[in-house]
Homo-oligomer: A and B are copies of this chain.
Amino acid sequence: MDLKNFIRDIPDFPVKGIIFRDITPLLRNKEAFGEAVNRLCDAVKDLDFELVVAPEARGFILGSAIAYKLGKGFVPVRKPGKLPYKTVYEEYQLEYGVERLYVHEDAIERGQRVLIVDDVLATGGTAEALIRLVRKLGGEVAGLAFLIELSYLNPRKRLEGYELRTLIVY
């Protein structure tokens, strides 16, 4: 099954000049969704981790299913004002704008190994902020997994030295 057939290209979203890779056709197809989760799980099976860490909101979709399938805990990373308990944050540069990402300060224990999951690896800026957030709490990044990699934005340059797994490359 070629998962790329289930990704819909939307030009000029959210801003002019960006081609948005819409994963909703993949998600709504039970075979494609199951296959994507299974392949991501397979791609990280050599990595040792206890928690899946994923950013709001699309990261939750794949991160949660992977955590469930592999019997791991799930840690949501959220935008400002969403997490109710004490938090720490990191800032990052998007393709279009600046954002902060928050996590609960008790979400990761010192020395706990985590897998970072998101739907799209673009510039790597979000991924870098997630890595800093995990390390701020004393966690260790076992690796990062993404459904889609936009290789033309050169994200791997910024993530050298990390175990990086992606399924669909543009």
Which A residues fall within an 8 A CB radius of B? 8, 10, 13-14, 20, 22, 24, 27-30, 33-34, 37, 50-51, 56-58, 60-62, 64-65, 67-69, 71-76, 78, 81-85, 104, 107
Most B CB contacts (10 A, CB to CB) among A33, A34, A73 go to: A73
By secondary structure, the A interface counts as mixed
User: How many copies of this chain does one complex carry?
Assistant: 2
Complex-state Cα separation, A50 to B83, whole angstroms: 32
Residues B68 and A34 in contact, CB atoms below 8 Å apart = yes
CB-CB nearest 6 A-B residue pairs: A57-B57, A65-B68, A10-B84, A60-B60, A13-B84, A28-B73
Contact B22 A84 (CB under 8 A): yes
Residues from chain B with Cβ under 8 Å of A58 in the complex: 60, 76
CA distance A104 to B24 in the complex (A): 8
Q: Are A84 and B20 in contact (CB under 8 A)?
A: yes
Q: Which residue of B lies closest to A11 (CB)?
A: B84
Offer 8 A-B interface pairs, CB within 8 angstroms, sorted by A. Answer: A24-B76, A27-B75, A30-B73, A34-B71, A57-B76, A57-B82, A58-B76, A61-B64
Q: Which B residues lie within 8 Å of A14 (CB)?
A: 81, 84
How far in angstroms is the closest Cβ of chain B from A113? 13
Which of B27, B37, B50, B85 contacts A10 (CB under 8 A)? B85
Contact of A62 among B8, B22, B64 (CB under 8 A): B64
On whether the beta carbons of A30 and B71 are closer than 8 Å, the reply is yes
> Across the interface, which residues of B come within 8 angstroms of A22, CB to CB?
84-85
Closest Cβ neighbor of A70 among chain B residues: B30
